[in-house]
Amino acid sequence: MLTPSQFAAWLQARRDAGETLKAIGASFGVSHVTVAHWLSGKRNPSRMTLVLAGELCRAPVEMAPGLPNAADHFLSACAHLRGSRSAADYLADTGG
């Protein structure tokens, strides 16, 4: 499970990688408005959302919904959140 601050950083990394609010929302089954509220701090993600985000960081890229064109950015964001130096280190650490 990610902490709320890790979740916010992960969302921002996905946005910085060019992913739309709509695509991020599809990953969690919520609207783009909800994602915008999470990013702005207007709403907090549920515990289940934090758990799902943690699982997405550990899942193989092909299992991560909404990210087929942003795999490298996704892995880099996960690596950063998990304290790995690179995407390769992250994959090695997680057995991916």
- Residue ranges of domains in the chain: 4-94
Cα distances from 10 to residues 2, 53, 54, 57, 77, in angstroms, run 9, 9, 10, 9, 6
**H-type alpha helices, the chain:** 4-16, 21-28, 32-40, 47-58, 71-82, 87-94
Alpha carbons 42 and 17: distance in angstroms, whole number: 22
Does the model's pTM come out above 0.75? no
Of 70 and 32, more confident: 32
Q: How many residues does the chain have?
A: 96
If one counts every other C-beta atom within 10 angstroms of the C-beta of residue 48, the result is 10
- For 6-37, how does the pLDDT look when each residue is reduced to its tens digit (9 = 90+)? 888 888 888 888 889 998 888 888 899 999 99
